[in-house]
Structure 1
Amino acid sequence: MTRTTFAIGGDLEVRRLGFGAMHLPTEPEEARAAAVAVARRAVELGVTLIDTAHMYGGGGANEELLAEALHPYPDGLLITTKVGIARSAGSGEWERDGRPEVLRDQVEQALRRLRVERIELLQLHRIDPDTPLADQLGTLAELRAEGKVGRIGLSEVTVDELAEARKLVDVASVQNRYNLLDREHEPVLDACTAAGIAFLPWRTVAWGDAGARAEVAAVAAELDATPTQVALAWLLAHSPAVLPIPGTAHLGHLEENVAAAGIELTPAQRARLDGLGDTANGGQA
């Protein structure tokens, strides 16, 4: 049977099927109220891992939404956030920015917005090529030493970047684009699995494209499930280090996603799905 929990960093146990908060709208008021209801329902359904970031909602608005919905947080709930992307003063566009002062400021903002004294898992949203990696990770390590960060993760990294980062800090998690039909980062997942590092795939269901594949539809029919649930069940079965974080702003889709944790693929079904991977490219999370 597929293991349902994973200990991030070896000691922070969460249920493997989490929730990505990126798609939760923060305005207008009616949409915000619906988003609050979705976040609360996720926790009611047993989700203990929720992913957000400084840039979601525009400079911390998504973090504030989660705090509004869920604070004071129930025991065992992990809200992980990401730093390292900031609006350019010149263009106004979101760009990689791993300068120590930017990372430190975004962490301080996250602590205030999430209403916590420590971020148990903080991920570097993207490596900034214009700032030495040692400076970026060194800043996060300093924040950890100060007690403001518990564990450090990365996002959208290669195998070589992961290896280089691990020379500088203990890496607890990696968040890369990955799903049933898009396995460009399979080598990164393999490295994480071997090292016991949590792998948090985003774009977990290929924007619904999985349902267009005859093999996925066939397996879904056999299991009396949806193609989305099959795609999530495959992720959970593929590696014990995978912690999917499907996101939605709709209660029905949320309940469909969470129910995927209870679906068990047979070895034959897994083998059929294993042959579907490709390296289609995606966007940003």
Structure 2
Amino acid sequence: MTTAGKLAGRTVSRVGYGAMQLERLRDDRDAAVALLRRAFDLGVDHVDTAQFYGNGFVNGVIRDALRPGDDVLVVSKVGADPDPEGPIPLRLAQRPEELRASVEDNLRELGLDRIPLVNLRRADRRPGVLAEGDQLVGLDDQLAVMTALRDEGKIGAIGLSSVTLDTLRKALPAGIACVQNAYSLVGRDDEDMLALCVAEDIAWVPFFPLGGAFPGLPKVTDEPAVHAAAEALGRTPSQVGLAWLLHHAPNVHLIPGTANLDHLEANIAAGAIAFDEPTLATLDAVPSRPMDTSLGG
């Protein structure tokens, strides 16, 4: 297993940082900036964010944490906008003009002239909010504006999030740099899509890498085999679940998120875990658990 991999044309550490949980430090901005600086000091050079994380708060923390000379790949996503007063703090924003406006919002809040990679968050599969009404937008119309933004130099590369295998196949001619889908040791419904990404040299960036983010999602840390491996290695079950993903396919990049320094250090340390063949075979044999398809979120 290598500790670095390609993402949007860059070589970066395969363990990055998902910034969503920085919002938990909203009342202590200095602590949020310090946590991110610690991640950089530990070798993290891939940060995943979105304007709808904390209604711009998280992007602002990233802007404050970045210093001249930092060689950090900042990745954002569009397809939803902040909705602080809503039942959940985001609303879908799938229309082409909304995607463009969201890129502009991200550029402004991040203090960047160009975002190296922007993921188009589709809304046609669980987990998450499904599109309806005027938010049911064709993929071609969305890719047209994303490609235009790339041609204008406002984004460097296009990724996809929350997509089906058919959607990915249709999008390939546009040039896709990565796919972000829910995926874990116990949630491997997308094995065919992962194989296609390996074949097409597309990075696979799983969210919910330990499952369990919503009711109805199985948890990696509930598996006896994961606990047994953790005990044998002197690691935590969460570290074993993360490390398995890196071993499973060469194009996997992780973006575990946390607002806790100890958890941050443990997540990054998972990138150095090696499995012997029997342990890996035992983990590979853990069955994939079907997700509750009525699940929202």
Distance 1:56 1:133, change over 3 A: same
Distance 1:207 1:40, change over 3 A: farther
**How far is 1:105 from its partner?**
1.1
Q: Which residue of 1 aligns with 2:187?
A: 182
Q: For 2:23, what is the secondary structure of its paired residue?
A: coil
Alignment TM-score, normalising by the size of structure 1: 0.90
Q: Which residue of 2 aligns with 1:44?
A: 41
Whether the 8 Å CA contact 2:239–2:270 is kept in 1: the answer is: yes
Letter in 1 for 2:6: A
Whether the 8 Å CA contact 1:80–1:120 is kept in 2: the answer is: yes
- Aligned partners of 1:86, 1:171: CA distance in 2, in Å? 22
| Percent of matched pairs sharing the same residue | 41
Distance 1:132 1:73, change over 3 A: farther
Distance 1:274 1:283, change over 3 A: farther
Alignment of 1:55-74 (within 5 A): 55-58=52-55, 60-72=56-68, 74=70
Whether the 8 Å CA contact 2:180–2:204 is kept in 1: the answer is: yes
Q: Please list the CA deviations of residues 208-246 of structure 1 after superposition, one character each: whole Å capped at 9, or x if unmatched.
A: 933332211111111111111111110000000111111
Alignment of 1:111-260 (within 5 A): 111-127=107-123, 130-167=136-173, 169-207=174-212, 209-260=219-270
Letter in 1 for 2:186: L
Q: CA RMSD in A?
A: 2.2
Alignment TM-score, normalising by the size of structure 2: 0.87
**How far is 1:7 from its partner?**
1.3
Q: Which runs of 5+ in 1 are unaligned?
A: none
Q: Which residue of 1 aligns with 2:105?
A: 109
Q: Which residue of 1 aligns with 2:290?
A: 279
**How far is 1:27 from its partner?**
5.5
**How far is 1:28 from its partner?**
4.2
Whether the 8 Å CA contact 1:205–1:228 is kept in 2: the answer is: yes
Q: Which runs of 5+ in 2 are unaligned?
A: 124-130, 214-218
- Aligned partners of 1:112, 1:242: CA distance in 2, in Å? 29
Whether the 8 Å CA contact 1:96–1:126 is kept in 2: the answer is: no
Q: Which residue of 1 aligns with 2:23?
A: 25
Equivalent pairs, count: 278
Distance 1:123 1:224, change over 3 A: same
- Aligned partners of 1:197, 1:73: CA distance in 2, in Å? 27
Structure 2 residue 13 is the aligned partner of structure 1 residue 15: yes
Q: Which residue of 2 aligns with 1:3?
A: 2
